[in-house]
Structure 1
Amino acid sequence: MKNSIAFLFLSLLIFTGCKSEKTVPKKPKLVIGIVIDQMRYDYLIRFSDKYGEDGFKRIIKDGFSLENANYNYIPTYTAVGHTSIYTGTTPENHGIIGNNWYDKYAKKNIYCVDDATYTSVGVDSNGGKKSPHRMQTTTITDQLRLAQNMHGKTISIAIKDRSAVLPGGHTANGAFWLEGKNEGKWITSSYYMNQLPAWVTKFNTSGKAAAYMSKPWNTLYDINTYTESITDNNPFEGKFNGKEEPVFPYDIPTLKEKNGNYEMIKAIPAGNSFTTDFVKAAIVGENLGKSKYTDFLAVSYSSTDYVGHQFGVASKEVEDTYLRLDKDLASLFSFLDTEVGKGNYTLFLTADHAAVQVPAYLQSVKIPAHYLNSKALRTYINSITLKYFKSDKLVENISNLQVFLNKEKIESLQLDATIVAQKIADEVINFDNIYKAVTARTMQTTQFTDGILHKLQKGYNQKFSGDVLLIMMPSALNRSSKTGTSHGSGYSYDTHVPIIFYGNGIKKGTSKKAYTITDIAPTIANLLQIQFPNGTTGLIIDEALK
């Protein structure tokens, strides 16, 4: 009897142990981060009836979708968004405060990834002189490399250089972006390598870029079914050079010569398809997901942003771009299933920012919307300093809605920079379409816990930001053109984006809880059981993880 009980107990232990071991998910062989440039959350809903089952709908159905995810800082620009996604923190820590900004030490405007220390690889131009040196913290891609003693690969791909360089982190094995103009090639920087890999050279000589540019852009489906968008011919859309009206079809072979030749592929849906082709080539060429280590593939789809800027949120061009992107994603997911294997990869999909409806369109339907005159703003600010401090030379630069004071001039006049900044903030609020104005001193001495000033504070970097920070009215753009759209604010139309997790280690479901973009990196780090990026301020989204 005792022997029977002992045998039963041992059998139960063995069975329980085996069952437990099977339920522990292995780490993914490949993590894929997909960032869609300028994707509003509502694009998932607006175009849902026309999406297929294997693109967006597949990862929503079988993955975990956050319905209330937002950016938690200002400014919502491309470089800042990509950096915040991958570092798990905001500009106050990671240091990327714009795509371009005024360097108050060098006294010049700088671009986020320019680096003359390095040379171009794959092209004779300066297009490859880039690096992530201005990003002050690590990324999830860096931490994965460090956790595996620099084993495992990180490959980062985007049409835009900044969207490839920053997600790849400081330790990427390769980051590739598109040189348009007369090239139509994927290139890189000597920061990563001294020559292009054979698979990149083969792709560049395959003729794919020329093939895409030889086809017209017409709607994927009958344009009359695009009822989610406003009329095709309207005054709120920008036009390609050489085309009189912003209407389908677009004769790309004819238009390309007047629109930068291969630069034009960036501004049409074919740019996303071209990116997808290159991503597939990278997976094969780099043998991603094939070793005993976990690899990371960072992908950014940039053409959505170019189309959005030119035609606006409500255009048929934007709708068609997303319907075509849905097919590109379905193709990529199927490719991952075959090449890496279902259950062997984890991905997340999000956006680097969203976008506002064209203000002129909003005005036409009686919704308050505005345009800021930046030249008039500078004149007004100079008039403030002239009135109160007898000089109109106290401002050194105004850019990205930030005022940089001329500290040397202020000191020479024996003025107090803090008082000058506060007077500008007090008075500039009277300028049309400026909604709020605060000084750097306020950012340093006051803790805002919610609202628009909280977001401004998260985007303020004491070392790099200006002396006075401005916020425009809702639905306002800082531009003279009344066609197309842009982004950069802390309002919901710019901050509300999709975040979808899918694959190995991810639950099925949705959440309506509030999350921020900085929660992605720590969630992926926890899934991989590695250290968070060193500036992380986001939290683990534990309800998305098995």
Structure 2
Amino acid sequence: MLERRRLLGLALATLPFINACTATPPAPAAPPKVPKLLVLVVVDGLPMRQVSAYRDQLAPDGFARFLDRGRWFAEAHYGHGHTVTAAGHAVMLSGAHPQRSGIISNEWRDPVTFQPVYNTGDTAHTYLDNPTAPLAGTSPRSLKVETLGDVLRTRSPESRVIGISGKDRGAILPAGHKGTAYMYMGETGQFSSSTYYMAALPAWVKDFNAAKPADAFFKKTWAPLLPEPAYARSVPDGQSWQVASSNGNRLPAVIGDKMEAPGARFYGNLLSSPFGDELTLAFARAAVRNEKLGQRGVQDILSVSLSSHDYVNHAFGPESRLSHDHTLHLDRHLQAFFQFLDQEVGAGNYVLALTADHGFSDTPEWAATQGRDAGRFGSSPSLAIINTGLAAKFGVDRLARDFSAAGLLLDEKLAATRGLNFADVQAAAREELLKLPAVEAVFTREQLLGSDTATPYLDAMRKSFDPTRAAQLQIVLKANWIHSYRPGGSTHGSPHRYDTHVPLLFWGPSYVGRGEEQARVEVADLAPTLAAIAGLPAPAQSQGRDLRLSAAAR
């Protein structure tokens, strides 16, 4: 009896174990939903202040899609100091500052040979069905890091990564090493690619070009979108500092005015108007349809960089009515493109991100009328002044070879052959630069390779400094002073707020949430954030952070 009870107790004690072994295991958690398509829209040369300033005049579903129904960061900045197109486009989908990406500028001089280098130049490759000029951008050879598209295509070779832009660098750098880039050809009005990507253009691209869509804008008028009183907050047309060499500096403007037929000059001028963006977005629509982006059961990436705003701001300044009106036209073009994506891909199947490659300075002449210390820094006269000072001290001509990207390039070999201590030459050149009225700060190679983060502007310029490509001395101009090769217009390229502060906007209701974020973030955070949304690892050299996680922790 006792033995029977003992055995019964043993059996009862083992029931939980038996049940645990024989029970149906719980179903594995469903993998997190990821979007079928990531869409990055880049507006070349758009400061965040322009989006904010005209918010009351925006269409319901352009920029407002992000501001009213998306997630956006009011204080997004570039971390690097030389804020130019190529450097910004290289950061976006790599998360790597120029110190790692190697894309220190649009162009620079080789510090050993002093020969010009273009950021996406590659003489091994040529454009398809179009002429290839010297230094033309044809491949990502100079990009030292991987992009999010490279990560995706390594994991999923059947995925498609496409970059489109009015500029070669705006298409090539976001597309990375394993994507495909299509860029506008200013001589022919076509979109093309290069032999780096393919041997021949796809049939759909040939069909697009054969229809000559650029010609549809010949003699078309760029007219103000709103009544005249709506532009009271911006500077009127026709100012002496507004460049009139392309489509004039007054609205309305006829694109192709006084031309008999579309040609190279018309195709080039088209990019300096709202019609350049309209054409680029038409090509992007064709890419989505024909490549079936986000519609083939695998994840894809589309990057569209719109170049026209940069040309407008260079010619007229971001304070101008022309730039104000261009922003509003762009807003309407974006609305139409987003609604196309809703229909073609499905509103719940894709994520949008929008940013810019840099901001913009006001034109110095306008800034001066507002009581600001402002002016233009001319490279050629400044170089002559520096070399005169160096020759007086060392008895050697042309120790300073040229300005390269954000710096002054010194001839180390010449200094050595003349028995000069290069540290002394560098220090003397720095002194000469600091005598110039436009110069705020100058950093030596030793400072840039150091760890000081307290000195103003030093960390930003360090992030722009690749010692294998950059000049030995890196220069920061005073606020409101710009590098200039012509008497009018404006530019960018500094670590000042007006050049670093750009939009960083997201939309995709089930992926990114809604609301405004006030904390300062960097554009380098875009790549790891999109990677997390897509269920991918961040690019290997990324220096950013996942903003979704950091926001949730606050």
Could you say whether these structures have the same fold, taking a TM-score greater than 0.5 normalized by the shorter chain as the test? yes
> In the alignment, is residue 319 of structure 1 matched against residue 287 of structure 2?
no
Match of 2:144 in 1: 136
Tell me the amino acid that sits aligned with residue 513 of structure 1.
A
Q: What is the CA–CA distance in structure 1 between the aligned matches of 2:534 and 2:77, rounded to whole Å?
A: 24
Q: What is the CA–CA distance in structure 2 between the aligned matches of 1:403 and 1:44, rounded to whole Å?
A: 35
Conserved 8 A contact 1:506-1:544: no
In the alignment, structure 2 segments of 5+ residues that lack a partner are 1-22
Conserved 8 A contact 1:39-1:304: yes
Q: What is the CA–CA distance in structure 2 between the aligned matches of 1:213 and 1:164, rounded to whole Å?
A: 25
Tell me the amino acid that sits aligned with residue 126 of structure 2.
T
> In the alignment, is residue 295 of structure 1 matched against residue 303 of structure 2?
no
Q: What is the CA–CA distance in structure 1 between the aligned matches of 2:264 and 2:149, rounded to whole Å?
A: 36
Q: What is the CA–CA distance in structure 2 between the aligned matches of 1:67 and 1:373, rounded to whole Å?
A: 34
Q: Map residues 49-68 of structure 1 onto 2, 5 A cutoff.
A: 49-68=56-75
2:85 to 74, 78, 85: 78
Distance 1:453 1:38, change over 3 A: same
1:167 to 159, 169, 174: 174
Match of 1:9 in 2: none
Match of 1:443 in 2: 448
Q: Map residues 139-288 of structure 1 onto 2, 5 A cutoff.
A: 139-148=147-156, 150-172=157-179, 174-181=180-187, 183-240=188-245, 243=248, 246-255=249-258, 260-288=265-293
> In the alignment, is residue 473 of structure 1 matched against residue 481 of structure 2?
no
Tell me the amino acid that sits aligned with residue 157 of structure 1.
I
When normalised by structure 1's length, the TM-score is 0.92
| Larger gyration radius, structure 1 or structure 2 | 2
Conserved 8 A contact 2:452-2:458: no
Secondary structure, in 3 states, of the residue corresponding to 1:120? coil
Q: What is the CA–CA distance in structure 1 between the aligned matches of 2:344 and 2:550, rounded to whole Å?
A: 25
In the TM superposition, what whole-angstrom CA distance separates every residue of 1:199-230 from its partner, at most 9, and x where no partner exists?
Answer: 11111122321111231111122233222212
Q: Map residues 490-501 of structure 1 onto 2, 5 A cutoff.
A: 490-501=495-506
Q: What is the CA–CA distance in structure 2 between the aligned matches of 1:398 and 1:330, rounded to whole Å?
A: 41
Q: What is the CA–CA distance in structure 1 between the aligned matches of 2:500 and 2:254, rounded to whole Å?
A: 34
Q: What is the CA–CA distance in structure 2 between the aligned matches of 1:482 and 1:119, rounded to whole Å?
A: 34
Question: 1:403: how far off?
Answer: 1.7
Secondary structure, in 3 states, of the residue corresponding to 1:196? coil
In the TM superposition, what whole-angstrom CA distance separates every residue of 1:127-146 from its partner, at most 9, and x where no partner exists?
Answer: 87610000001011111111
Question: 1:232: how far off?
Answer: 2.3
When normalised by structure 2's length, the TM-score is 0.91
Conserved 8 A contact 2:247-2:255: no
Question: 1:430: how far off?
Answer: 1.2
Secondary structure, in 3 states, of the residue corresponding to 1:254? coil
In the TM superposition, what whole-angstrom CA distance separates every residue of 1:274-316 from its partner, at most 9, and x where no partner exists?
Answer: 1111110000011100122110001100001011111111111
In the alignment, structure 1 segments of 5+ residues that lack a partner are 1-12
Q: What is the CA–CA distance in structure 1 between the aligned matches of 2:149 and 2:217, rounded to whole Å?
A: 32
Question: 1:448: how far off?
Answer: 2.1
Conserved 8 A contact 2:82-2:406: no
In the TM superposition, what whole-angstrom CA distance separates every residue of 1:70-116 from its partner, at most 9, and x where no partner exists?
Answer: 01112100000000112101111110011010012343011111111
Aligned alpha-carbon RMSD (Å) = 2.3
Match of 1:533 in 2: 539
Q: What is the CA–CA distance in structure 1 between the aligned matches of 2:241 and 2:547, rounded to whole Å?
A: 39
Q: What is the CA–CA distance in structure 1 between the aligned matches of 2:323 and 2:550, rounded to whole Å?
A: 30
Conserved 8 A contact 1:266-1:306: yes
Tell me the amino acid that sits aligned with residue 403 of structure 1.
L
Distance 1:256 1:89, change over 3 A: farther
In the TM superposition, what whole-angstrom CA distance separates every residue of 1:442-495 from its partner, at most 9, and x where no partner exists?
Answer: 212342256311101111111111111111111111125342110000000000
Distance 1:544 1:280, change over 3 A: farther
Number of aligned residue pairs = 527
Conserved 8 A contact 2:66-2:506: yes
Match of 1:350 in 2: 355
Identity %: 29
Q: Map residues 334-373 of structure 1 onto 2, 5 A cutoff.
A: 334-373=339-378
Match of 1:33 in 2: 40
Question: 1:525: how far off?
Answer: 1.1
Match of 1:8 in 2: none
Secondary structure, in 3 states, of the residue corresponding to 1:189? coil
Question: 1:26: how far off?
Answer: 1.3
